[in-house]
């Protein structure tokens, strides 16, 4: 290590250890003297409490995507039990999982660092955007909603790349705003951070390319072509390219393309174009903001759903859309407040319109998760507008009323999440039980044949798993070729009828050795319905 770097490190260490030891405590105390900062800390601590309560609730149930990420990360860490990840999945999230495996963390630790921590950063960046766009009050309201959002809470129980991708996307927009729109000085450093976050977002989830679209549309609307002359943006582009370069090289060697996802997504582009525009994507706002009413209040009010946040969203939307009345001012880039409204709307609109026009499919509502923080900023705008309008009649009364509305809306979000997660706690427990049985009764490298659940079985059994052949005859050839130790049939997901009939047609080849019900319990009575059956392959 160069001597100069050692001297710098030594100087930093000296400053930390030799300066007044109370300085950090005093600075922290002074920072917390600001009531907005204190409220932010309370919100983040509350968000952490909720996440610690729920993040491992689904340890008996694993989805295909989760199993893919975990199995691939484990393979990259230790080189055992290969799972061939699809080309459309960028590598960064799986690299993180591999790193944590190498550090000795188990599944619970990996879930905490790859899902819970990013979820807290979503709350923090949502606050920062609200503060920078508008003020601390809007930021705190939006952060509160991000902390209790059932969509965010539900997904902290799943090892998905979505939450980390949202962090990088929000961070990129925040650094863009700080470095380009409202810099105290020409701050190239923030713009380079924007490029890094854009690159990491792209390496985490392909949908983060939409953040480029959001920033791009903002620049075109507010500056037309003039932004091309800003050197800071070119530095950001260089940072984006440099951090994306290893992914491109990896894609070239592993999939034969510098853009490995292009072939897979391109194959479905023709089908998407043939479908009508998916305007139902906009129903995501209702899905996110209209949870089931918490039981006692729902019974009291004789209604089943809580529309409070939904109503506040439309109030905020009317306020935020005021930028349309001053679009000429925005084009001339003369009103930063209107620019904030434009950016907030673009976060929601660009996200939705991609799925309306390009994807043409609503798909899983979590795919539009990036729009959530924008929606919470809009609600914050609506709440503050209501406060400013009604405080002249009664300031205290207005505060109390708005607090009650946000409280009910927040509790409804938490209740919705609680109900959804507890309903899925044992959703795939039988798969885990069967996989653990197989692991105990087989050796490393033994093949498993399954009519579905390939990724889940690969991860939990730690044995290579593949599907049946094209038909019965082809499956028998596969058995002869790879000589699997066990064959598995399951009704967790629908497969072709012949896959379930195969064992009864070949009783000499396939002997049932274990069966489990939906709760993961071994079959010991006729009252139990088998959802997964394990057959020993007699070859």
Strand extents, DSSP E, 81-232? none
Helix pair angle (308-320, 336-353), 10° resolution:
120
pLDDT at 192 over 90: yes
The region of weakest confidence among 111-115, 231-235, 420-424, 464-468 is 420-424
Which is more confidently placed, 525 or 85? Answer: 85
**What contacts 232, CB < 8 A, 6 or more positions away?**
179, 180, 186, 187, 188, 191, 192
- Output 328 or 239, whichever has higher pLDDT: 239
Closest C-alpha among 383, 386, 409 to residue 138: 383
Spell out the residues 6+ positions from residue 413 whose beta carbon is closer than 8 angstroms to its own. Answer: 145, 148, 149, 150, 153, 291, 309
- How distant, in Å, are the alpha carbons of 153, 307, 393, 407 from that of 397? 31, 21, 8, 15
- Averaged pLDDT, 62-72: 90
Domain limits, CATH 3.40.190, in the chain: 429-537
For residue 341, is pLDDT > 80? yes
pLDDT bracket for residue 326 (50, 70, 90):
confident
DSSP run (H or E) holding 335: none
In 432-454, which positions are buried (b, 16+ CB within 10 angstroms) versus exposed (e)?
A: bbbbebbbeebeeebbbbbbbbb
Are 177 and 163 a contacting pair, CB within 8 Å?
no
User: Looking at the DSSP assignment, which residues form a beta bridge with residue 466?
Assistant: 449
Cα–Cα distance for residue pair 243/202, rounded to 1 Å:
9
| Confidence bin at 312 (pLDDT 50/70/90) | very high
* Residue 30 dihedral angles phi and psi, to the nearest 5°: -65, -40
Residue pLDDT, tens place only, 479-500? 999 999 999 999 888 899 999 9
Q: Check residue 225 and give its pLDDT.
A: 83
* The two structure tokens encoding residue 465: 């798993």
Residue 115 has pLDDT above 90, yes or no: yes
State both tokens at 306. Answer: 């809580």
Instruction: With CA atoms as reference, report the closest residue to 83 among 33, 97, 229, 108.
Output: 97
* CATH 2.60.40 corresponds to the domain 429-537: no
Q: Read off the pLDDT of each residue in 131-148 and give the average, rounded to a whole number.
A: 96
Q: Which of these, 510, 530, 518, lies nearest to 468 by C-alpha position?
A: 510
pLDDT of residue 29: 78
Return the bridge partners of 536, or none: 486, 511
Could you report the per-residue pLDDT of 17-45, keeping only the tens digit for each?
455 556 767 877 777 778 898 999 999 99
- Which one has a higher pLDDT value, 25 or 516? 516
pLDDT score of 7 more than 50: no
Q: Is the pLDDT of residue 202 over 90?
A: yes
Residue 292: strand pairing partners: 305
Q: State pLDDT tens for residues 444-486.
A: 999 999 998 888 999 999 999 999 999 999 999 999 999 999 9
DSSP reduced 3-state for 511: strand
- Give residue 27's pLDDT: 77
Between 135-149, 178-192, 384-398, the lowest mean confidence (pLDDT) is in 178-192
Q: Which backbone phi and psi does 470 adopt, to 5 degrees?
A: -65, -35
Q: What is the pLDDT of residues 425-435, one digit of tens each?
A: 666 788 889 99
Provide, rounded to the nearest whole percent, the portion of the chain with pLDDT above 70: 89
> Does pTM surpass 0.85?
yes
For 199, residues 6+ apart whose C-beta sits below 8 A from its C-beta are: 239, 240, 241, 242, 243, 244
In what helix (H) or strand (E) does residue 488 lie, and over which residues does it extend?
strand 486-490
Confidence of residue 8 (pLDDT cuts 50, 70, 90): very low
Say how far apart CA 361 and CA 274 lie, in whole Å: 12
């Amino acid at each position: 290590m160069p001597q100069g770097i050692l001297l710098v490190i030594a100087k930093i260490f000296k400053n930390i250890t030799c300066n007044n030891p109370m300085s950090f405590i005093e600075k922290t105390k002074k920072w917390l003297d600001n009531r907005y900062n204190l409220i932010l800390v309370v919100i983040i601590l509350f968000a952490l409490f909720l996440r610690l309560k729920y993040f491992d609730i689904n340890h008996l149930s694993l989805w295909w995507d989760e199993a893919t990420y975990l199995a691939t990360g484990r393979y990259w860490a230790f080189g055992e039990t290969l799972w061939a990840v699809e080309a459309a999945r960028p590598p960064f999230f799986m690299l993180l999982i591999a790193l944590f495996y190498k550090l000795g963390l188990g599944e619970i630790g990996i879930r905490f660092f790859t899902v819970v921590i990013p979820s807290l950063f979503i709350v923090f960046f949502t606050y920062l955007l609200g503060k920078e766009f508008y003020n601390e009050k809007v930021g705190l309201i939006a952060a509160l909603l991000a902390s209790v959002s059932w969509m965010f809470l539900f997904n902290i129980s799943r090892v998905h790349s979505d939450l980390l991708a949202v962090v990088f996307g929000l961070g990129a927009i925040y650094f863009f705003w700080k470095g380009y729109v409202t810099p105290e000085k020409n701050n190239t450093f923030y713009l380079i951070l924007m490029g890094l976050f854009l690159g990491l977002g792209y390496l985490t989830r392909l949908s983060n390319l939409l953040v480029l679209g959001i920033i791009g549309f903002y620049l075109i609307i507010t500056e037309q072509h003039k932004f091309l002359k800003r050197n800071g943006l070119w530095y950001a582009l260089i940072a984006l390219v440099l951090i994306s370069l290893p992914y491109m090289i990896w894609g070239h060697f592993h999939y034969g393309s510098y853009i490995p996802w292009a072939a897979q997504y391109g194959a479905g582009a023709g089908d998407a174009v043939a479908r009508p525009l998916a305007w139902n994507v906009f129903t995501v706002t209702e899905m996110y903001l209209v949870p089931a009413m918490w039981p006692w209040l729902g019974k009291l009010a004789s209604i089943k759903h809580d529309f409070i946040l939904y109503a506040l969203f439309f109030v905020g939307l009317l306020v935020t859309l005021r930028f349309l009345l001053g679009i000429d001012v925005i084009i001339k880039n003369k009103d930063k407040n209107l620019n904030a409204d434009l950016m907030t709307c673009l976060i929601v609109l660009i996200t939705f319109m991609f799925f309306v026009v390009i994807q043409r499919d609503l798909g899983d509502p979590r795919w539009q998760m990036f729009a959530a923080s924008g929606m919470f900023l809009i609600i914050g705008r609506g709440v503050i507008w209501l406060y400013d309008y009604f405080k002249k009649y009664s300031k205290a009364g207005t505060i109390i009323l708005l607090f009650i509305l946000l409280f009910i809306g927040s509790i409804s979000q938490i209740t919705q999440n609680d109900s959804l997660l507890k309903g899925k706690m044992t959703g795939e427990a039988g798969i885990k039980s069967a996989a653990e049985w197989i692991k105990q009764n087989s050796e490393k490298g033994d093949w498993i044949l399954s009519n579905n659940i390939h990724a889940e079985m690969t991860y939990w059994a730690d044995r290579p798993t593949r599907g049946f052949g094209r038909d019965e005859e082809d499956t028998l050839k596969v058995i002869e070729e790879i000589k699997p130790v066990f064959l598995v049939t399951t009704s967790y997901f629908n497969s072709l009828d012949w896959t379930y009939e195969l064992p009864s047609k070949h009783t000499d080849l396939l002997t049932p050795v274990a069966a489990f019900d939906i709760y993961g319990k071994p079959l010991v009575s006729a009252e139990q319905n088998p959802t997964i059956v394990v057959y020993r392959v007699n070859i």
